Amino acid sequence: MTNVFKTQPIPFAINSIWFGLIQLIDYKLPKAEQAITTPYVGGSELTPKIDREWACQMDYWPEGRYSKLEAFKKISISINRCKATLQSEQYNDLESIVFLGLSYLLIRNTMYKIHHLVIGEAGETYIGFGYDSGDVWIIGRLTEKGFKKT
């Protein structure tokens, strides 16, 4: 994702960055393994302070926003293989814990490295993540002094 920020800089008006998780279908895989959890990035001029639905209004929607992380694909396939042996709630919990946890770690590490690329006009940029169909988790804010967790 750092390449996306470098090749398609975030406009100054963007005050929140969203790292979403969505399931895309890989038709090359066997049917039971096709749903692949895929991270993507977008940005909003809104902030969580202005509108709690800020992550639903993307004003920065770069080409190449979907990251094809091989690790996410392999983990998705492994979790999908367990689906038949788990109850629906257990499967959803497993998937959420694994991908939300991995996403949090990846985003935090990335933000420390590239915070200077994503400071919005408000002097700070909120960083959030989550599943498109789930809750929004705010990790923190980027300022000129670096990353500040919330």
pLDDT, mean of each 10-residue run, the chain (150 residues): 80 92 94 93 93 93 90 94 86 92 90 70 87 90 80
Helical H segments across 67-147, by residue range: 70-82, 88-114
Residue 7 confidence (pLDDT): 85
What lies within 8 Å, CB to CB, of 4 at 6+ separation is: 41, 62, 64, 65
SS3 7: helix
Residue 68 confidence (pLDDT): 84
The alpha carbon of 144 is separated from its chain's Cα centroid by a whole number of angstroms, namely 22
- The answer to whether 51 touches 62, Cβ cutoff 8 Å, is no
> pTM of this prediction?
0.88
How many domains does one find in the chain?
A: 1
Give the domain range for residue 49.
2-149
How far apart (Å, rounded) are the C-alpha atoms in residues 53 and 50?
9
Residue 74 confidence (pLDDT): 95
- The answer to whether 23 touches 79, Cβ cutoff 8 Å, is no
